[in-house]
Each structure stands twice: as C-alpha cells, then as structure tokens.
Structure 1
Amino acid sequence: MFAERHTIQLPAAKAPVIHIEEKKTVEPVSVAQQWLSKLGTILKNNDVAALPTVMHQDSWWRDMLAVSWDIRTLHGLDKLSLYFSDNLAHTGMHNLKLRTTGKFAPNLSSPVEGLEWVESMFDFETKVGRGSGMLRLCQGSDGAWKGYMIYTALQELKGYEENAGLRRPHGGNNSLEGGAITGNWLERRERQKEFLDDEPTVLIIGAGQSGLNTAARLQAMGTSCLLVDRNPRVGDNWRFRYRTLVTHDPVQYTHMAFLKFPTNWPLFTPKDKLGDWFESYASLMELNVWTSSTITSAVYSDEKKNWTVDIKRGDGSVRSLHPNHVIFATGHAGEAKIPTFPGQSDFKGTVYHGSQHQDASITGAAAGKKVVVVGTGNSGHDIAQNYYENGASVTMIQRRGTYVISAATGLFMLHEGMYDETGPPTEDADIAGQSLPIPAQFALNVGLTEKIKQAEKENIEGLIKAGFKLDFGEDKSGIYRKYITRGGGYYIDVGCSKLIIDGKIGIKQSPDGISHFESNALVLADGTKMDADVVVLATGFDNMRTSVRKILGDTVADRCKDVWDLDEEGEVNAMWRPSGHPGFWFMGGSLALCRTYSRFVAMQIVAQEKGISR
C-alpha cells in the first residue's frame, strides 16, 4: 500500500512558485502553441537534455502506450528524462497539433487556490500510431510557461485502425472474400461463431461489460476473438443478481464502445434491461460468444508463446483451442470473501454472502423476520433496503466508516459538464477524464468532495445523528480513491440512507467485528447479542487473482501480479496492462472504465501480434 505516497497537495510542495499575470494579458492559445512547438522540436531532435526548458522540475507526465508499451506515470524531471531516454528514439512522436476549438481548446483555469494553468487538448503521431493528450502549463518564477501535468495516450495503430466511421466495412456481397458463392453474411457468421475454419487469436473469459467492450475493439482492429461465458445467455451476469439492482452510474457515463445508449434510455438502468442490452450488443457487434461454457484446462507454452485451452460446451463436448492471448474478464473482483465464525453451524437461521442475495420476497417470508446485514457498502445497503421493504426488521453492522454520496445530487456533480447532456463527445471526455495522474485526481477531488458534502449536508447530518459512521477517505477525496484502491467502502445512496435516518433500519457499530453465533443470535466482539433469523454477510470480494487461481490453476495465478490498488508510480496494478504472465490480461471495472481502457488492452495485443511493440 502506498497511501501516503499518493496523497499529494496541489500546488505540490516542490512545485515552482507560480506568478500569474493579469488574466487579460494571458493568451492561452499563444502560450499553448509556443510550448507545444518547443516540445515538438525536442522530440524531433531526440534532445532529452532540453526537457528542462519545457518541463518544471516537479512535473508529472502520464503516458498510455504513446512513449512505451505500458501505462505509466512519471513524477519529477529526473524520472521523466530517464523515461524519454529509454524510449524516445523508437517512439518518434511528431506532428503535434493543438486543439483550437471545442471544450478542450486552450484556456486559463484555476483548479485549486494557488494553482493556475493553461490547459488544452492536443493530437500527435508516433511511428506506429496516432494519439491525443492534454497539456497543463504553469508559469514559473522566471515567467516561462512550462509543463506541469502532461498526458499522452495512443488512440489507434497505423494500418490497424478500428473499422469505424469513415473506415466502416463495405458490407455488400461483392466485398465478401471469395464472393457470395462461398457463403452470404449469415452463413459465414455461423461458421465464424463456431471457429470451424480457424482459431481465435484471443480468448476472453467472461462476456460482461469488460469482455464485450474488448472483443468489439479487437474485432474492429481485425483480430479474431472468442468470448466464453458460463451463463446460458449473454447478460446473465446482471440478470442473475438481486432483483432490485439498477446501475449506480448515469447513462451518459456508461456508453459502450461504438454503440451509445439511445437518447430515451433511463438515467439508471435496471439490471435485466442492461442484460438485454449486453445480449443485443453482442449480436450487433457480431461478437463470437460461447455461452454455457467453462474452462476445464489452460496451459501456456513459453516456447510457442500460445495457450492450450480446453473448453467444455453446453452440450457436453470439449473443444481445445490455441489462442495467443487470454483476457480474464470475469468482473471487477475475485472470489467472495465469506468469513466463518465460531458457533455458526449451530445457528438455526439463514446465513449467506451478499453475492448470493436474490430478493427478500423469495428468501423465505421476510415479514417479521429479524435480519442482520454485516457490511455497509453498496450491496449491504441495497440488501438492507430490500429486506425492510419486504417487512423485515433490519439492522446493519458497521465496522468502519463508509463514504456516502447521493445518486440524486452528488453523483451528478461528479460528472457535471463532462458526462451529461451538455458534455463534449464521449471520446474527448474519456481522454480528458483520464488525463491527470491518479494522485492528482485524488487531490483535485478533495475540493469537489467538500462541495458535494455541503450540497448533501442534510443527509450527512441525519446519518451522523442516526449513529452511522461516515468516512470521506483518508485524504477526504471521496469515492474515486475508494473505488480504484479498494473496490468498495462507499455507498451510492438510492434510498437506504433515508431509512437509516428515520430509524427504520438500525445501525450498530462494531469496530472489532463479530465474536460468534448462538442458536438464535449473532454476538458482536463487545458481547452485544443481536437476535437474528437471517444474517447476510455483505463482506466484499477478494483480489481478481483468486478467481484466476480457481479457474485456471496455481501455475497461471502464481505468475500474475495482484490486481487493483496502486503501484509505486500511482497506476493501477496489473489491470489493463501487462499482468506479469505473458499473453494474459486482466480486464475489469465499471462500464465507463471498460469502454475507455478496452482501447488500450486491444492496442497492446494487436501491437504484439503485428510485431510493432518491442
């Protein structure tokens, strides 16, 4: 854990003292263009020694595949110079062009008190691709504008661009290889889906948002892939979850690659509706999916640089395939964390993990039952609300503080002006949204989290009065840090907070957890006895690596890194980037993150397949 390392102050302690002229004398377009031209000359001449003329000593540079074939964050001029020394010669970044129109044209802004910068989006080329980035320039004590936070991200590979927009496929019969005599579109699709004539280059385990987005990207770049899912239908990973579940992110934020949700789609999507969308998406994107299928064996050959994967199909047959890459896309988390306690076997009631919850109306007769929910994250709240609405007496057990943000207010403040009806094109929003180093995002979120706190003051005060312990994050930066490092510790309020405030759902603090079960009760560490008919353990999930171990075995899992949380640079461990195991990739996250990062996973794989990455 690198918590302290990734908690920074803006302006950073080592940042230059910034003396801004009167705003009316600052011409952002001129400042940005002059800086970009200087950077272009340095890159053209491979003159790493000249970086101090355009970058502050305390600068940050976040790079996604543009300079190296990884996702990296470099902090400090010394580290940045070393990074460019190792990579610049073969990168060949050139043709840097400023975006002079739209939301991300050059402008002067002040993200926090004491820090003002000129920021703009720009585009560029490398030897192998085209990319986009963001520049954020600060004025030093000498009056010179230099780079403080720069972002570069490859968007496409030359020669392997996504077949979309102006490059969309022809589709007519005369475009079919060998002509229609060898099969029309439908006949060819049937053979493709079964891989009767060839084998997939990429095997994706899981056909949820992670797998579907990545498969669509890969196929648009001309790389064949097969998705394997244990469920009977695409979308069942959402359909099989608890009955009242809806998405917690608004629709403008959750579009999928190439296919946006319709403009009349609800802001928050019911789980079964989303499952149907996934099924339609797979069909419309012409993705190859084998449902009711499981992996029975997976062995990687370091010599041949490919896999031998045995897949058991729904009809009982077994097919052996030899993909070069396997993408593990089974969800954000690993196996459910299901603790056991002394005396649990003697408990006469029902105990189950939150992942097994369906609906209180079908979990026996809920009315009049005493229900204890252990955990106060999203699922714990949703399950508690579900039981209360079905007539149960519900108490939630809280071990530590939880961040609470309202879906009606705070959630929209997070996306305001970026992912809403007034926002820029989604593709540009994705570039800008990921353009800051993650530690800088945390720091900038502190002010926004405080604004949300003030907007939700009544709700927050009510929760505190009800005995609910709130936690705004160790740096008070709110939800994103909790999501990206822990995958939990927060609740997006869709109604349960009001029930807690009104005393309709009880809260019991137990910092030291649970002691044991008795025949009709749960006993907390402090000796408090909680009479219970049903105990739901909303205790979260393990690292994704645990699922790899279960599905693919120890040999594969032992070569993988742990997933999520941040590495020393402040980038997410193993997710969307090299996993530690050759030819193996982790893919996961929210719908928005899957849309954004599927591009980078697909490009890394295609670059390896085509021999254009070193």
Structure 2
Amino acid sequence: MAEVGTAVDDIDACVASWLANFESSLNGREASQTAVLFAENAAWRDILAFTGNLRTLHGRGSIEDALKVSVEREDRFAFRISETVSVEHNERTGRPALEVVFRFDTAIGHGDGVVRLIQDESGELRAWTLLTALSGLRHDLTRKPKARPSEQAYEGADRRNWLDYREIEASYVDRDPDVLIVGAGQCGLALAARLQQAGVDALVVDKHERVGDNWRKRYHMLRLHNEKGSNHLPYMPFPENWPTYIPKDKLGDWLECYAQSMELNVWTGTSCDAGSFDPETRRWGVTVSRGGRRRTLRPKHLVLAVGVSGAAKWPAIPGLEEFSGPIVHSSDYTNGARFRGERVLVVGSGVSGHDIAQDLYWHGASVAMLQRSKTIVASLRPGAEKVYAHYRSTAPLDELDLLNISVPYPVKRERARRLTEEISQLDSELIEGLNRVGFRTHTGSDGTGFQMQFLRAGGGYYIDVGCSQLIAERKIDVINAHSTAGFDAEGLVFNDGSRQPFDALVLATGYQPVSDTVADLLGSAVADAIGPVWGLDDEGELRNICRPTAQDGLWLIAGGLAEARIFSRFLALQLTAEVSGIRLAGRR
C-alpha cells in the first residue's frame, strides 16, 4: 500500500490503488485483507449496497466481522472514481483527509460512495470513513414505467384525453396498488413520486380534504426554520425566487401542486381504519373510508408516512381538569386573536411553545410560559445558519445529499459537538439573557445541540426567530414547572400555596409516539414487534425508518423535507426490488 504524495497525479494514483485493492479483496471474500484497508477507528456506512439495510459498522474489527458473515455471497462490485467530482483534500469532517466520490456497479444495480482516506503513523493510506449507497437498479430487472397519459395523446382512435386517463388511473376501480402509502405529507409524496418513476403502482391516502392541509391547518405564524436550499423535493425544486424560510401555507400549496404536477395517485378525505397482513397471500387487507363508502385495499406493501408523532399528548399535571377556562392543544391552535387582552399560559418550551407564545404576545395577550425541562436554544442567525451552510453550495443537490449522508454517526456527533460549541459562543449574549430571567437552557445530553436532538427525539429545542428576545426582556414571563404544584379552577398553583390566575391555557406538550398510531391501525402485536420508531439505534441509524421492520410488508418514512427527499430514494429502491423480485445484497 503506497504512501500518498502531494502531486495531483500521485494523489489520483493512490486513490485508484486503494479502490482497486478494496474491489479485489471484497470480491475475493478476503475479510482480513479488506479490513486492513481501514483505519482502526474507521466507520463504514452502508445503505442497501452491501448489507441490504441501513447500517453503520464501527471500527476495523466490526467491519471484518461483517465481511466474514458475507463470505458465502456471490455479489461482485466494480468501483471507479467519479468523473464529475474531483478528489479533494479537505477537513469537512474535522480531520484532514482525501475525500473521494466514487461510483460502483453490482449485479443488480449501481451506486455512489464517498471514502475519506487518511495516512496512519506508518504513512499507509487507509479509509477513515466510507459510504456505499445503492442508487439505482438495473432497468432490465425492473418494471418499465408505464406510458403517461400525455404520451398516449396521439395514439390510435381512443378519444379520451389526459384528464380521462388520470381519473381512471387514480380510481383503482379494477386493481389494487402495489404500495399503499398512508399520509400525503412531504414524505408520502416524495416516496410516491420516486415509485412512479420506477414503474411501481402506488396510491397515497390522506385524511385531510386537500393535499397540503397538514401544513395549512397548523398555527398561523408557522414557517420553516431551516433554509429553502435544504428542503427541495425530488424532481421539482422550489423556484429560485422563493423566500429562504418558507411559510406554511405556501408550502402546503406547493405540496398540492407537486402531487398534481407529478401525476401522483392521491385520495384525500380518506381515513385509514384498520389493516392486517395475510402471510399466505403476502398482501395486506387495509380498510379505508372515503366519501361515506368503505373499501378494503390489498396492497403488497403498506407504508406509514404519518410523521414521527401520533395523537396530541395531554400532560399529566395535577388539577389540569379543574381549570375553568379554555384549554387548547397546540395542534388545534390557529392564532392569538381570540385571546387579546387575556392572561394565557403556554405549557411547553419547544418550537411550538415559543412560536405560539410569540404569536399570543403580538395579538395583545399577557403571556407566560411554563417550562417543564431544559431547552436547547440557538439563534437563527448566525447560529442555525451555520448548520445549513452545506446546502448553500452551487454543487448539484444529489452531490450535496451524498456528501451529507456520507458522514457516519461517530463523526457526525463530533462535528455537531464542535459546531454547537461555536454556536454557543456566538449566542452567548442570547443564552445569558434567557438564563438571567430563569429560562433554563442546555446544549443536549452530550453537547451536540439541536442537530442530534432532532434525530434522537424529534423535539426539545428552539431555533430563535424572535421569542427569545421577548423572554429575555420579560415581555413573556417564564415559570419553572418545578416551582408549581398544579392547577385549580383559576389558574396555576405554586408549591408555597400561592396562585397565579390565567384565563386560558395552550398546551404545547407534543404528541404521542407514532408506535401508538401503529397499534391503533394494525394492532398492538405489530406495534410491539417493530418497537420504537425514530431515534437512533446502537449504530447511529434511525430506528425503523426507510428500512425493513419486524413486520413483513410494513415500512415507515418520516422526517422533514430533507429527510423526505434523501431517504425516499432508498425506500423506493427497496420497494421496487421487492415488487420486481430482486434480492438485495445481504437480504435473505
């Protein structure tokens, strides 16, 4: 194994040599020779290409063990350096490394990868991080996408127009879909779009009357707190003249436009009532209600795209049921106009709690916030902007996504910790102002801030868009829940027996876990079998998201718009392989 020099030709030769050695030893089932190409503390993230799953192998020993398990497999790989992305020496992950984007072919498809090579103490070039991600299946093994209605416009004597064809296709009067997707939010629509491009028949059902209502019906002032550049959906990027932070109603309209423009089959105003899997036929029986009529659909695969949360969570606070004023959960809150001049307590200090408290203040209410636990707070500018700087690049979005997912959990965690330290220094005045008035902050259990908090818990943080300043200036009061005993008819009761009256309560207390939704729809046995949804497993991968679950034919997808775009690709690949009879590498 040669040492790497500094000349471009020398670097390219060393990289090509490493890839050639990796290909040869991997195809030769030489586990120990493959493993030695990695640094001792290396991490290999594989998405469907080698393990048939979303996995991260930590350390040379774990990598060698995984290679030994696969010794009987017949898969072969052919690697080549990307023709479009140059080998680059950078410190993107906090450590100097040669960052190499490569492509590869397998017996069933093709993929993309990123390896970061470092020199060890002896000068040998070894992999510190590796990503291998399946990105497509061989066309001759999969179904051909059927001709779209627009492509049939001038064929034969059939005088039906495009709309006629679309209505027939979306009616499912004479067939069942291959895939039934429950939920027409960003995740469900992104997945449906990718499946359609792959020729897989997918139907999306949603309880709302219009696509996009899951955003439109949220509180009035809501807008995205991350930047437009990171939030594009597959095939249809947002227009360049759109605002950096997209308002909820604009986003809802875009989702509706997306579903129509991509010609997705969506049934709105449709409830999903119950479902069960038949192991004999390998199909689901899912009962849906639409327009007063019920129908049992029998798809091969069922995808729950209902988010990471279930029903609204009402907190178990003593005396809450005794309160005589109106109590509104954040899921039902629209705006603060009805509370003008009233004393309102917002229970909860996450994103919704802050946004609602700020909206109430703007509408002339006297607002207090009951903080039940410490909250991660970061400024939008300059703090959170640093997190999304990656997507301000002019590089193609697919390339940015590839580099994004190429960072394995241990490196991602350390990078988040360093970035959180930097943001904390920039936000020191903001945090000091909050702490001074009794608002309790922290930077996460391990100092990794809101980035890792989102992946681990889905909430518990706030990106400041103005409410923190109102709190620091005491325009919105903060009450520490530890000082309170509960509620009575008039308001809040403190531990010392004193009371603070309120006219109304808004509960920004989150939602039940999505596993409750699984239990309601498919039964507790299925929910218990698949276990928790979202949060990170021992390898740092999201639990039960876009990967096989313990229940045959059941899949889940969740997350924001970036997660919808990135991970819908990999779920669509798995579903396409399943309906096409293709066995992914590593699958039994």
TM-score range, shorter chain: over 0.9
Counterpart of 2:58?
Answer: 75
Once the two structures are superposed, residues 228-276 of structure 1 have per-residue CA deviations (whole angstroms, 9 ceiling, x without a partner) of 1111111111111111111111110100011100001111111111111
Counterpart of 1:57?
Answer: 40
Q: Distance in 1 between matches of 2:221 and 2:180?
A: 32
Q: Distance in 2 between matches of 1:441 and 1:169?
A: 43
The answer on whether the counterparts of 1:510 and 1:525 sit within 8 Å (CA) in structure 2 is: no
Counterpart of 2:468?
Answer: 497
Counterpart of 1:377?
Answer: 350
Say if 2:72 is the partner of 1:94.
no
AA aligned to 1:158 is: R
- Within-5 A mapping of 1:569-608: 569-608=539-578
- How far the C-alpha of 1:138 sits from its partner, in A, is 1.7
Once the two structures are superposed, residues 347-397 of structure 1 have per-residue CA deviations (whole angstroms, 9 ceiling, x without a partner) of 121222222211111xx3x22211111111100000100111111111112
Q: How much identity, in percent, do the aligned residues show?
A: 37
Counterpart of 2:197?
Answer: 220
Counterpart of 1:31?
Answer: 14
Q: Secondary structure at the match of 1:403?
A: strand
The answer on whether the counterparts of 2:4 and 2:10 sit within 8 Å (CA) in structure 1 is: no
Say if 2:380 is the partner of 1:403.
no
Q: Distance in 2 between matches of 1:294 and 1:215?
A: 18
Counterpart of 1:261?
Answer: 238
- How far the C-alpha of 1:483 sits from its partner, in A, is 0.3
Normalising by structure 2, we get a TM-score of 0.93
- How far the C-alpha of 1:26 sits from its partner, in A, is 10
Q: Distance in 2 between matches of 1:373 and 1:174?
A: 56
- Within-5 A mapping of 1:428-577: 428-511=399-482, 515-524=485-494, 529-577=499-547
Counterpart of 1:143?
Answer: 123
Q: Secondary structure at the match of 1:96?
A: strand
- How far the C-alpha of 1:499 sits from its partner, in A, is 0.7
- How far the C-alpha of 1:398 sits from its partner, in A, is 1.5
| Unpaired stretches in structure 2, ≥5 consecutive residues | none
Q: Secondary structure at the match of 2:512?
A: coil
CA gap of 1:591–1:173, structure 2 versus 1, over 3 A, is: closer
Q: Distance in 2 between matches of 1:356 and 1:163?
A: 44
Q: Distance in 1 between matches of 2:233 and 2:498?
A: 48
- How far the C-alpha of 1:101 sits from its partner, in A, is 4.5
The answer on whether the counterparts of 2:345 and 2:505 sit within 8 Å (CA) in structure 1 is: yes
Once the two structures are superposed, residues 468-504 of structure 1 have per-residue CA deviations (whole angstroms, 9 ceiling, x without a partner) of 2111112211111100111111101111111112111
Q: Secondary structure at the match of 2:565?
A: helix
CA gap of 1:132–1:479, structure 2 versus 1, over 3 A, is: same
Counterpart of 1:419?
Answer: 391
- Within-5 A mapping of 1:60-459: 60-87=43-70, 90=73, 92-99=75-82, 101-102=84-85, 105-110=86-91, 115-159=95-139, 173=151, 179=156, 181=158, 183-314=160-291, 316-361=292-337, 364=338, 366-416=339-389, 418-420=390-392, 422-459=393-430
Q: Distance in 2 between matches of 1:233 and 1:325?
A: 24
- How far the C-alpha of 1:28 sits from its partner, in A, is 3.9
Q: Distance in 2 between matches of 1:432 and 1:162?
A: 28
Normalising by structure 1, we get a TM-score of 0.89
CA gap of 1:180–1:290, structure 2 versus 1, over 3 A, is: farther
Q: Distance in 1 between matches of 2:110 and 2:442?
A: 42
AA aligned to 1:507 is: V
CA gap of 1:387–1:334, structure 2 versus 1, over 3 A, is: same
Q: Distance in 1 between matches of 2:143 and 2:280?
A: 33
Q: Distance in 2 between matches of 1:415 and 1:180?
A: 53
Q: Secondary structure at the match of 2:454?
A: helix
| Unpaired stretches in structure 1, ≥5 consecutive residues | 1-19
* Pairwise CA RMSD: 2.5
Give the stretch that moved more between structures: 473-482 or 52-61: 52-61
CA gap of 1:192–1:385, structure 2 versus 1, over 3 A, is: same
The answer on whether the counterparts of 1:93 and 1:124 sit within 8 Å (CA) in structure 2 is: no
Q: Distance in 1 between matches of 2:143 and 2:279?
A: 32
Alignment coverage as a number of residue pairs:
582
Once the two structures are superposed, residues 217-237 of structure 1 have per-residue CA deviations (whole angstroms, 9 ceiling, x without a partner) of 111100001111111111111
Q: Distance in 1 between matches of 2:576 and 2:66?
A: 23
Once the two structures are superposed, residues 527-549 of structure 1 have per-residue CA deviations (whole angstroms, 9 ceiling, x without a partner) of 56332111222111222111122
Q: Distance in 2 between matches of 1:288 and 1:49?
A: 49
